[in-house]
Amino acid sequence: MKFYRIRFAKISWKLTIIYAGIFFLILTLLNISILYGVNYFLMQQAIAQVTDTGDMIIDQFHESGQQKADLVDKDLILGIPSNDNIYVKIVNKHGRIINESAKFNLKIPEKIPVKTNRIAIIQGNLLYQNRIINVKSKSYAYLQVVKSLRNVFHFLKLLAFLMLGAELTGLFIAILSGYIISREVLKPISRITATAQSISIHDLNQRISMLGPKDELMDLATTFNAMIDRLQQSFERQNQFVSDASHELRTPISVIQGYINLLDRWGKEEKAILQESITVIKNEAANMADLIERLLFLARSDSNVHKINRESFWLDEFIDEVYRETRIIADHHQVILEHNEKILFFGDRKLLKQMLRAILDNSIKFTPETGKITIHSLAEGDGVKLVIEDTGIGIPEEEIPHIFNRFYQVDKVRLKTQNGSGLGLAIVKWIVDAHQGAINVKSEIGKGTRVLIILPAVRDIII
């Protein structure tokens, strides 16, 4: 039973059985139709022979003058073909035989429930007709015409046997050819299955070879390869993410361990070393906490469990709040709010503040003291345009396409005194995408950077 389930669970077998079953059904219906047609034709032919024989005898009797003596004359029934299995008997009203064809050895019941001139099958294989013979307009005798259907039935049985043999042969050929064809057609699926079974986390380089016509199976193979490409990219990003996270966490941990060893050796007596160690450990712990918080944010984002809590708020008041907080943090920079239009916005206030703080934090880090940072908030068409410009050290043009990648840092322009994880702009990009917006960065070395964010307005804009 288990073997049956395993073997016939294959698609090739299922297709073969369905194909053979449909073929067998069609062939059976066709054979039944042929048998019915042949049977109908032969029976009609036999009925016509019986009727014609009776008509011929009665016509001859009428032509001879309708004398009683003519009914006894053997010449009356000589014209009956001997090879048609037709037999004739003439009896009077009392059942006495007056005349009969040669070799009439059929046992016909004396009383047959068949109406005069009607044709019926009696005893299973005899076609029988009983007709009245009138002598001078008076009923005198009965003409019984009988045709044996034994040869007809033998022929029909032989034909049915041959058709059954042909049908079984056709069924066997249908099963064999159906299995071969379905196996050939489904070979790409077998290759897909084999490739899928051989693919593992440690080996994502295999792909399905796509040969043959461009059909549904080719589309399936193409889709499967594209899925493996995305899966490989996802694993590579995950491995890179883990590697980068480990690297970023290793640095503060190494610093903390170093200062702990320093404290263990001299920190108990030297207050300066103690104070320095405590300060550094606090800073590195804060950096680690910030890094872990950002990692958790991105992990929740990748798992689609980060909820967007949208609410209506006045964007101008929100921008003014961020502007005042930035001025306090960047007291050595010129932070300017040039445009701040009155706009009713619908979005996640907390995430938008995190987005702006991350961008402004980069501007503060990489803009020299007394440098200028400008904020613009404008209503444009059906959207909101936020612009943050600075006069910082800038970003090389070839680096701009990569700045939103996780852990990516522009080492050529990053100041050694600045700490960063390379996750800030990745979070910014996710927040912009979550609000169905767009972000664009333009920068020039030595002149500064301009960040443009366009967010769709879900509420009416009031200027």
pLDDT at position 5 is 46
How far apart (Å, rounded) are the C-alpha atoms in residues 241 and 233? Answer: 12
Which CATH number does 311-456 carry?
Answer: 3.30.565.10
Mean of the pLDDT values across residues 82-109?
74
| All CATH 3.30.565.10 domain ranges in the chain, comma separated | 311-456
Q: What is the signed CA dihedral for 292, 294, 300, 304, rounded to 10 degrees?
A: -160
3-state secondary structure of 410: coil
State the DSSP H helix or E strand holding residue 33, giving kind and residue range, or none if neither: helix 11-63
**238 CB neighbour count, 10 Å cutoff:** 12
* Per-residue confidence (pLDDT) for residue 6, from 0 to 100: 41
pLDDT of residue 458: 58
Where does CATH 1.10.287.130 sit in the chain? 216-302
Helices 424-434 & 271-302 angle (0-180, nearest 10): 30
- pLDDT reported for residue 223: 85
Q: What is the pTM of this model?
A: 0.51
- What CATH number labels 216-302? 1.10.287.130
Q: Is the pLDDT of residue 85 over 60?
A: yes
Q: Which of 175-184, 228-237, 353-362 bottoms out in mean pLDDT, i.e. has the lowest?
A: 228-237
Residue 34 reports pLDDT greater than 80: yes
Instruction: Write out the residue limits of the CATH 3.30.450 domain(s) in the chain.
Output: 2-172
d(CA 220, CA 238): 27
Quick one: pLDDT at residue 159?
94
Give the DSSP per-residue string, 300-339: HHHTT------EEEEHHHHHHHHHHHHHHHTTTSEEEEEE
Q: What percent of the chain has pLDDT over 90?
A: 21
Mean pLDDT over residues 227-247, rounded? Answer: 76
pLDDT of residue 460: 44
- 2-172 sits in which CATH class? alpha beta
Q: Which pLDDT tens digit goes with each residue over 328-350? A: 888 889 999 998 999 888 999 98
Choice among 2-16, 154-168, 246-260 with the minimum mean pLDDT:
2-16
- Helix-, strand-, coil-residue percentages of the chain, each rounded to 5: 55, 20, 25
In this prediction, residues 253-279 reach a mean pLDDT of 78
Q: What's the rounded mean pLDDT across residues 28-52?
A: 92
- Which range has the top average pLDDT, 184-193, 398-407, 453-462? 398-407
pLDDT at 117: 67
Range scoring the smallest mean pLDDT among 5-9, 28-32, 307-311:
5-9
Report the pLDDT value the prediction gives residue 162, as an integer from 0 to 100: 94
What are 28's two structure tokens?
């059976």
Best mean pLDDT range from 71-75, 192-196, 262-266, 429-433: 429-433
pLDDT at 289 exceeding the cut of 50: yes
The yes-or-no verdict on residue 378 having pLDDT over 70 is yes
Question: What pLDDT, on the 0 to 100 scale, is given for residue 461?
Answer: 39
Residue 463's pLDDT band (cuts 50, 70, 90): very low
